[in-house]
């Protein structure tokens, strides 16, 4: 019996490893799952703007006002506790960008976080939010991207610490944190509220910045939208639930829907201050949305439950 115990233990360990390997195998969306449809490039442009694609993927320029939003050659450095990510080229260039990708490749990347070569994409690309996008919106975004100019030049490799540079381990992260699918409207809410909930939680991926994260880099759902440190640890992203928005108002009163919609249009908060830093980049995108979409986002944000997130460090 004692001689059999090591063998039994080895079998159990082997079975466990095999199970994890199978469960963490990168998922894909087959082309056969995409029914025929007519692309709506105008809607793709809307998805592009609410998704903030240009903010990350446009070729960087020291002067933000001179960034060409249509040249998506990537290259922006994104420092994090795991190392530095470099935003890839997503222009239609067939060699260095995504010009050789199929539509199914693109849907797979946004919904499943899997690259065309079958490897896991790192969740610095916010597919945990993009998985909630409707299929036609993803396809329309792809159609719009194909209308933009190709940009030659491959971006440098990510500079990540071991073991976070092992893509296969991202499969474990997905197993733990990548749950859900396309957005399901709440029938008890208005169409406007549902549109806002979709834009905020899907293509807008607002929680990716405005929420604290655990040690594995996943959003802490109990403190969703309650603010937290920036990925590089040098700044702070504010709480956008009513608890946090009170601090930006004139009289410690939570922002109204009108206040939020106005802020998304011109970047000025109720206290008369203008958005700066990363939020200024967000405003560059939201100001391009329709007034109806900004109002929908405002309706949803105003309805968030008050949450007390982590306390920001004292101002120096």
Q: Using CA atoms, how far apart are residues 89 and 73, in angstroms rounded to an integer?
A: 4
Q: Which helix (H) or strand (E) holds 84?
A: strand 83-86
CB-CB contact of 185 with 296 (8 Å): no
Say what the pLDDT of residue 28 is: 93
In a domain, 312, yes or no: no
Say what the pLDDT of residue 61 is: 83
What is the pTM (predicted TM-score) of this model? 0.89
Note the pLDDT tens digit of each residue in 185-236: 999 999 999 999 999 999 999 999 999 999 999 999 999 999 998 887 778 8
Query: Residue 86: beta bridge partners?
Result: 77
pLDDT tier for residue 279 given thresholds of 50, 70 and 90: confident
Say what the pLDDT of residue 234 is: 79
Question: Rounded mean pLDDT of the chain?
Answer: 88
Question: What burial class does residue 228 get, using C-beta atoms within 10 Å of its C-beta: 0-12 exposed, 13-18 middle, 19+ buried?
Answer: buried
Read off the pLDDT of each residue in 8-25 and give the average, rounded to a whole number: 53
Domain encompassing residue 40: 30-177
173 and 34 together in one domain: yes
Say what the pLDDT of residue 21 is: 54
Say what the pLDDT of residue 209 is: 92
Q: Which of 109-113, 178-182, 261-265 has the lowest mean pLDDT?
A: 178-182
pLDDT tops 90 at residue 251: no
Say what the pLDDT of residue 79 is: 92
126 and 250 together in one domain: no
139 and 248 together in one domain: no
236 and 156 together in one domain: no
73 and 207 together in one domain: no
pLDDT tops 50 at residue 10: no
166 and 86 together in one domain: yes
Which residue intervals of the chain are DSSP H helices? Answer: 4-23, 41-50, 53-57, 103-112, 127-130, 135-145, 170-177, 191-201, 207-210, 242-245, 257-266, 277-286, 291-302
113 and 155 together in one domain: yes
pLDDT tops 80 at residue 54: yes
161 and 67 together in one domain: yes
pLDDT tier for residue 272 given thresholds of 50, 70 and 90: confident
């Amino acid at each position: 019996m004692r001689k059999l115990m090591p063998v039994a233990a080895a079998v159990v360990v082997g079975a466990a490893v095999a199970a994890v390997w199978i469960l963490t195998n990168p998922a894909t969306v087959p082309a056969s799952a995409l029914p025929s449809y007519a692309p709506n490039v105008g809607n793709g442009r809307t998805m592009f703007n609410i998704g903030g694609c240009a903010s990350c993927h446009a070729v960087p320029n020291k002067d933000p006002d001179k960034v060409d939003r249509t040249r998506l050659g990537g290259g922006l450095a994104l420092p994090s506790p795991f190392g530095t990510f470099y935003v890839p080229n997503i222009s239609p260039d067939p060699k260095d960008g995504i010009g050789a990708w199929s539509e199914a490749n693109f849907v797979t990347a946004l919904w499943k976080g899997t690259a065309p070569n079958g490897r896991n994409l790192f969740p610095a690309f916010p597919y945990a939010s993009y998985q909630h996008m409707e299929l036609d919106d993803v396809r329309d975004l792809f159609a719009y991207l194909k209308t933009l100019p190709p940009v030659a030049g491959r971006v440098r490799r990510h500079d990540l610490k071991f073991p976070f540079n092992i893509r296969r381990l991202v499969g474990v992260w997905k197993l733990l944190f990548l749950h859900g699918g396309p957005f399901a409207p709440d029938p008890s809410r208005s169409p406007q509220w549902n549109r806002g909930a979709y834009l905020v939680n899907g293509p807008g991926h607002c929680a990716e910045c405005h929420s604290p994260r655990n040690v594995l880099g996943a959003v802490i759902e109990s403190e969703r939208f309650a603010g937290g440190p920036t990925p590089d640890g040098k700044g702070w992203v504010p709480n956008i639930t009513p608890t946090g928005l009170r601090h930006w108002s004139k009289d410690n009163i939570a922002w109204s829907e009108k206040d939020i919609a106005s802020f998304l249009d011109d970047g000025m908060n109720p206290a008369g201050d203008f958005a700066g830093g990363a939020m200024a980049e967000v405003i560059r995108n939201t100001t391009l949305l329709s007034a109806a979409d900004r109002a929908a986002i405002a309706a949803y944000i105003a309805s968030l439950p008050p949450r007390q997130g982590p306390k920001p460090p004292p101002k120096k």
